[in-house]
Amino acid sequence: MSRARAQYVCSACGGTTVKWQGRCPHCAEWNTLVAESAPARGAGRGLLGAEPGGQGVVLMNEVPAEQVRRFHTGSDEFDRVLGGGLVAGSVVLIGGDPGIGKSTLLLQAMGVLHADHPVLYVSGEESAAQIAMRARRIGGESLALPLLTETSLEHIVGAIERDRPQVVVIDSIQTLYMEDLSAAPGSVSQVRECAARLTRLAKQRDISLVMIGHVTKEGTLAGPRVLEHIVDAVVYFEGDAHSSHRIVRAFKNRFGAVNEMGVFAMTDRGLRGVSNPSALFLSRHERPVPGACVMVTQEGSRPLLVEIQALVDTAHVPNPRRLTVGLDGARLAMLLAVLGRHAGVSCADQDVFVNAVGGVRISEPAADLAVCCAVVSSLRDRPVPQGVVAFGEVGLAGEIRPAPRGQERLREAAKLGFSRAIVPRANAPRQSIEGLVVVPVSDISEALKALWSG
């Protein structure tokens, strides 16, 4: 009997090589090659396990255009992230830190779906008793949910073929294994082949498949990157372990908007959607305080009001510190340089700390103007007037560039009781917004003057 041939598989891209190297020859990542036994001959059939001689070439205009069928999960916030609900025949990959609420949310959703559709919850991490305990804690319809505790892919596929569910949850993909492969569960080859087999089955049987994936210490999904490419949607759970609020965000979605966000609150009865998430990201001060400015950010199709806080203090070291939480640190350094050059506000000998309240992460440049206002407010020890909101991108020449969907941002600010908005001149509305005074500005110097002139 011949000995199994060894190979090295990259945990980042899934590429293979017969010789170990410090750097992957396929994706150039360092220290990602892991030793595994080569799969048996014929064990894998390509990315989706396609059979040779499958469906032939067809003309695109001959393919019938069908309206996608969606399953509503019973949670408006989760449906918003998915683009309106789970699509029949789609594959969704959900990642997040351990204990953040992935299994709880899917258990609640499957309990609601079970009332009208055949479903199956597959768990490879917990026993049936553990899942039943959680179902009793959150209550509701989860108690009558069909449950399978299994890690063998062949047995799971057999159960799906036998029961023909319309929605299937796999918790989690890293615990499954194929008997044809000699690699351990959770290895690159096992994760890749199991995900490909399940994806092919979901497409063939028109099943909505939801897979839970582990994350690394860097916060990315564990396993080969090809796992994110073959699925239809990638959803991440975000949140602080010390906070009861959770943010679910879509980073890839073939059936909805990317970067759509849903906000949940963790309670003793499970996860509950937050209908007004702007209230979470606004601090309530008894009186205006220096270093705080409210902005309107756009998360998918939803405008959110977030308070930006800044603290500027005298540096006691030769190199002043610049620290951000929820914002881009490199962009803060750029904004401080713009303030010094075009607004006459120097922070060269000051420590600058900037924070987005509520643990939200803001990546869009429309936060620039609010960050500048908060920094200057803290430096001058002068509070931003109450009821003021600001947004806009700040360029290197000091100009204020427009933000997308400015009208929706202004209407959201007016709805929440803000009375004055400092915005880029290109975002000035053609018609007045009731209860809101809009102050259009062209550059950072003009914006700082308008901030305290009203």
The reported pLDDT for the residue numbered 219 is 67
Indicate if the pLDDT at residue 205 is higher than 90: yes
The residue-averaged pLDDT of 347-364 equals: 91
The reported pLDDT for the residue numbered 351 is 96
Q: Is 363 found in the same domain as 332?
A: yes
The reported pLDDT for the residue numbered 336 is 96
The reported pLDDT for the residue numbered 341 is 95
The answer to whether position 62 is within a domain reads no
The answer to whether position 442 is within a domain reads yes
Q: Is 246 found in the same domain as 123?
A: yes
Give exposure, 209-234, as e/b (b: 16+ Cβ within 10 Å): bbbbbbbeeeeebbbbebbbebbbbb
**Which one-letter amino acid corresponds to residue 130?**
Q
Q: Shortest CA distance to 416 belongs to which of 286, 296, 300, 291?
A: 296
Q: Is 421 found in the same domain as 313?
A: yes
163 vs 243 pLDDT, higher one: 163
CA 163 to chain centre: 33
Q: Is 396 found in the same domain as 249?
A: no
Domain containing residue 246: 69-275
The answer to whether position 63 is within a domain reads no
Q: Is 425 found in the same domain as 299?
A: yes
User: What predicted TM-score, i.e. pTM, was given to this entire model?
Assistant: 0.77
Q: Is 312 found in the same domain as 218?
A: no
How far are the Cα atoms of 55, 62, 295, 318 from residue 59, in angstroms, in the given order? 12, 5, 49, 67
Indicate if the pLDDT at residue 19 is higher than 50: yes
Task: Categorize the per-residue pLDDT at 106 as very low, low, confident or very high, splitting at 50, 70 and 90.
Answer: very high
The reported pLDDT for the residue numbered 355 is 95
Provide DSSP, 98-160. Answer: TTSSHHHHHHHHHHHHTTTS-EEEEESSS-HHHHHHHHHHH-GGGGG--EEE--BHHHHHHHH
Tell how strand 437-441 and strand 420-424 pair up.
parallel
CB half-sphere exposure, 345, CA atoms < 13 A = 21
Q: Which two tokens stand for residue 307?
A: 């308070």
Task: Categorize the per-residue pLDDT at 61 as very low, low, confident or very high, splitting at 50, 70 and 90.
Answer: confident
Q: Is 211 found in the same domain as 155?
A: yes
Q: Is 250 found in the same domain as 153?
A: yes
Q: Per mean pLDDT, which range of 25-39, 78-92, 122-136, 167-181 is the poorest?
A: 25-39
CB 165 within 8 A of CB 146: yes
Please state, rounded to an integer, the average pLDDT across all residues of the chain. Answer: 87
285 vs 290 pLDDT, higher one: 290
CATH of the domain at 319: 3.30.230.10
The answer to whether position 33 is within a domain reads yes
Indicate if the pLDDT at residue 48 is higher than 50: no
Element housing 217 (H / E): none
Boundary residue ending a domain (275, 300, 335): 275
| Sequence-distant (≥ 6) Cβ neighbours of residue 81 within 8 angstroms | 235, 248, 249, 250, 256, 260, 261, 262
The answer to whether position 339 is within a domain reads yes
Q: Which two tokens stand for residue 34?
A: 């892991």
Using alpha carbons only, what angle is made at residue 299 by residues 444 and 67, rounded to the nearest 5 degrees?
A: 140
Q: Per mean pLDDT, which range of 264-278, 328-342, 422-436 is the poorest?
A: 264-278
190 three-state secondary structure? helix
**Separation of alpha carbons 282 and 349, rounded Å:** 30
Boundary residue ending a domain (229, 245, 275): 275
The answer to whether position 42 is within a domain reads no
Element housing 372 (H / E): helix 368-380
Task: Categorize the per-residue pLDDT at 314 as very low, low, confident or very high, splitting at 50, 70 and 90.
Answer: very high
Q: Is 113 found in the same domain as 237?
A: yes
Boundary residue ending a domain (247, 275, 303): 275
Task: Categorize the per-residue pLDDT at 47 as very low, low, confident or very high, splitting at 50, 70 and 90.
Answer: very low
The answer to whether position 332 is within a domain reads yes
CATH of the domain at 174: 3.40.50.300
Indicate if the pLDDT at residue 420 is higher than 50: yes
How far are the Cα atoms of 137, 161, 220 from residue 124, in angstroms, in the given order? 21, 19, 21
Q: Is the peptide bond before 442 cis (omega within 30 degrees of 0)?
A: no
The reported pLDDT for the residue numbered 46 is 46
CB half-sphere exposure, 372, CA atoms < 13 A = 36
**Rama region for 433: left / alpha / beta (φ>0; ψ in -120 to 50; rest):** beta
Q: Is 381 found in the same domain as 338?
A: yes
Q: Is 32 found in the same domain as 91?
A: no
The answer to whether position 58 is within a domain reads no
**Separation of alpha carbons 306 and 295, rounded Å:** 6
Q: How many structural domains comprise the chain?
A: 3
Q: Is 74 found in the same domain as 31?
A: no
